[in-house]
Amino acid sequence: MRILHTMLRVTDLQRSIAFYTDILGMELLRSKDYPDGRFTLAFLGYGKESEHTALELTHNWDTDQYDLGNAYGHIAIEVDDVYQACEAIKAKGGEVVREAGPMKHSTTVLAFVKDPDGYMIELLSPHRQD
């Protein structure tokens, strides 16, 4: 068994695809419109779905707002250098909401960025101690 994908509902599909591809470096793997259901699915990731977990963005055509809720946490992405990743994300117009640095009570370097719909993305260094 393996995790195939995580799904997020988004209000502006093209804006979200641009964020995940242009700012976080993912690739648009596939996209399909479902006119009868009035929604579009777009799958993004860092490699083939047969080998990597994907992110599914669901755009319901008639919905322009969602409540994020308080149970959602974040999506974690490993990056080579959290400090450099934050600078690159800011240079591309992304929003860093927690600058790169050690996690409280730990040596793990992390940061948080926010996607266009307010979802939190955690950036982690590859050599986590905790």
pLDDT, one tens digit per residue, over 12-37 is: 999 999 999 999 999 999 999 999 99
- pLDDT-derived band at 130 (thresholds 50, 70, 90) equals low
Q: Identify whether 51 is a catalytic site residue.
A: no
The larger pLDDT score, comparing residue 122 to residue 106, is at: 122
Q: Which two tokens stand for residue 3?
A: 């995790």
Q: Which residues contact 21 (CB under 8 A, 6 or more apart)?
A: 27, 28, 44
From the candidate CATH numbers 1.10.3470.10, 3.10.180.10, 3.40.50.300, 3.30.70.2190, the one assigned to the domain spanning 5-60: 3.10.180.10
* pLDDT for res 104: 87
Whether residue 123 contacts residue 100, with contact meaning beta carbons closer than 8 Å, is answered with: yes
Distance from chain centroid for Cα 88: 15
Indicate if the pLDDT at residue 129 is higher than 70. no
Global pTM?
A: 0.88
Domain 75-124 has CATH 3.40.50.150: no
- Single out the catalytic residue among 56, 78, 95, 122: 122
Per-residue pLDDT tens for 81-105?
A: 999 999 999 999 999 999 999 988 8
Domain residues of the chain, as ranges?
Answer: 5-60, 75-124
HSE at residue 89, side-chain half, CA atoms within 13 A, is 28
Determine the Cα–Cα distance for residues 61 and 68; give it in Å rounded to an integer.
Answer: 18
Mapped onto helix, strand or coil, the DSSP state of residue 97 is strand
